[in-house]
Amino acid sequence: MNPRLADVIAVLDRLYDPSWAESWDAVGLVTGDPDQPVRRILFAVDPMREVVDEAIAGSYDLLVTHHPLLLRGVNSVAATTPKGRVLHDLIRANTALHVCHTNADNANPGVSDALAQALGLTNLRPLNPLPTDPMDKLVAFVPVADAEKLVEALAAAGAGQGTHYDQAAWTAPSHRLGAAADAASGGEVRGAATSSAPSDGVPGREAADAAGAAGGGGPVAWASVGEMTFRPLDGSNPATGRVGHVSRVQEARVEMVLPRGKRRAVLGALRAAHPYEVPAYDLIELVAEPGDRGGGRIGVLEQPMDLREFAQRVADSLPRTQHGVRVAGDPARTIRTVAVVGGAGDSEFARVRAAGADAYVTADLRHHPATEAVAYGEGPALVDVAHWASEWPWLRDAERLLRDGLAAQGSTVETHISTLCTDAWNVRL
């Protein structure tokens, strides 16, 4: 069954979430009707005139490119300009255009993963990692008999969700919560707060927090038991106890980690499932750590080789261009650890040096940044390739991952990767 364009875009957005794009970028659907059927898809680095002609002549329903057609704002798309004519032709041919640019650079796997794998690198990690998705930790206090029900409700709203575990819980010996709660509020509100306080070091506690924050399990909760003491005052409607009398209730302290984007839903579930008028809870914003997404990659060669041999591997592994492969460094230098950035990468020299890379493969190296980098005696050898060539290997990954994602939902499409070289330089003297 052929998918709709909206179905294809949904898979692409899961692979290359638009929120991962840099703030200055322009990614996503440029032309196309979300309800139109998609039978054939063409992948290319650039939405250049010749690539668009290839897509239209081949009756492709969707053209997926890495680079944007409209990176900067425009006031007109009239057919009197080259880009305007491209847009008019795409629309007339009913060919959709979708862009995955820096959101694909920052994905895992993304553009630099494909380049690194093409060069035979292993043990990949981001050169410039993005922080993990922002997470909160909810600490709620609930009568013991209602704790399991509350955990289930919070999990259904998105707390404690992960990949490899289900219904996991951590417990610790009982402890007393304190002599009294805020009597003015009926004794049921300990308080709600936002802070960056660390975990308190209870054995197993950090494991629970880390599992939730890293997406390693779910639903996950940490619980301990204590005693709540309170006296309801006039005007209160306590779920347990009597107005004017001191009550003691065995309560569970339940802790669950949640994505910050689900904060509203989880707090709503807390209030709906909790037996008290006003639940007692703390909400703690967790510190974001470096994640597995981000720009560039650091990897290692399975077998060390000298720079001359490594540069030849780069030349043999990437599409041929008039730019060729330019090298700066001692040809006899041993190369083990390699940094790569698909596309322009001379802004990353400091990170490459800090990572201890023996060689740096990227594109568009300018004279002054390159000469300054070479001036560092312990810095990496430089291997400069064409911008288009450094990003072309990603097309194969994007094609495979999209096909797999569509197949998982019962859809099939025909795909093709454009081999037209759209590098700007076409003559070398």
What per-residue confidence (pLDDT) applies to 218? 53
Which amino acid is located at 102 in the chain?
T
pTM here? 0.79
| Helix, strand or coil, per DSSP, at residue 411 | coil
What pLDDT is stored for residue 93 in this prediction? 97
Per-residue pLDDT of the chain in tens (429 residues, 90 and over written 9): 899 999 999 999 999 999 999 999 999 999 999 999 999 999 999 999 999 999 999 999 999 999 999 998 888 999 999 999 999 999 999 999 999 999 999 999 999 999 999 999 999 999 999 999 899 999 999 988 898 899 899 999 999 886 565 444 443 333 332 333 333 333 333 333 333 333 333 333 443 444 444 444 556 666 677 777 767 788 877 777 778 777 778 888 888 999 999 999 999 999 999 998 889 899 999 998 899 999 999 999 999 999 999 999 999 999 999 999 999 999 999 999 999 999 999 999 999 999 999 999 999 999 999 998 888 777 999 999 999 999 999 999 999 999 999 999 999 999 999 999 999 999 999
- Residue 387 annotated as binding? yes
Contact 171, 224 (CB under 8 A): yes
User: Are the beta carbons of 303 and 149 closer than 8 angstroms?
Assistant: no
pLDDT value at position 223?
Answer: 61
Distance between CA atoms of residues 39 and 105, nearest Å:
27
CA distance 82 to 62: 20
pLDDT of residue 196: 32
What is the structure's pLDDT at 166? 47
Burial 191-213 (b: 16+ CB within 10 A, else e): eeeeeeeebeebeebebbbbbbb
Coil, strand or helix at 420: coil
What is the Cα–Cα distance from 13 to 9, expressed in whole angstroms?
Answer: 6
Domains of the chain, start order? 5-106+390-417 (3.40.1390.30), 120-129+294-385 (3.40.1390.30), 133-171+218-288 (3.30.70.120)
> Is position 164 annotated in a ligand binding site?
no
DSSP run (H or E) holding 31: strand 28-31
Nearest to 303 by CA among 112, 161, 122: 122
The pLDDT, as a whole number, for residue 164 is: 62
What is the predicted pLDDT for the residue at 211?
42
37, with CB counted inside 10 A (0-12, 13-18, 19+), is: middle
On whether 105 is known to bind a ligand per the annotation, the reply is yes
Provide CB contacts within 8 A for 251, sequence distance 6+.
Answer: 141, 142, 143, 144, 177, 225, 226, 227, 228
The confidence score (pLDDT) of residue 221 equals: 62
Task: Judge contact between 293 and 130, C-beta under 8 A.
Answer: yes
Name the token pair of 190: 């300990």
Residue 40 amino acid letter: R
pLDDT for 168: 44
From 274, 61, 309, select the one nearest 151 (Cα to Cα): 274
393-408 helix and 5-15 helix, angle to the nearest 10 degrees: 120
Longest Cα pair distance anywhere in the chain, in angstroms? 95
Outline where 16-172 has alpha helix (H): 49-57, 82-92, 102-105, 111-118, 147-156
Edge-to-edge strand ranges of the sheet holding 280-285: 168-172, 220-230, 247-259, 135-143, 280-285, 194-195
Secondary structure (DSSP) of 273-291 = H-SSSS-EEEEEEPPPPEE
> Would you state the pLDDT for residue 222?
61
Amino acid at 2: N
> DSSP for 381-410?
EEEEE-HHHHHTHHHHHHHHHHHHHHHHTT
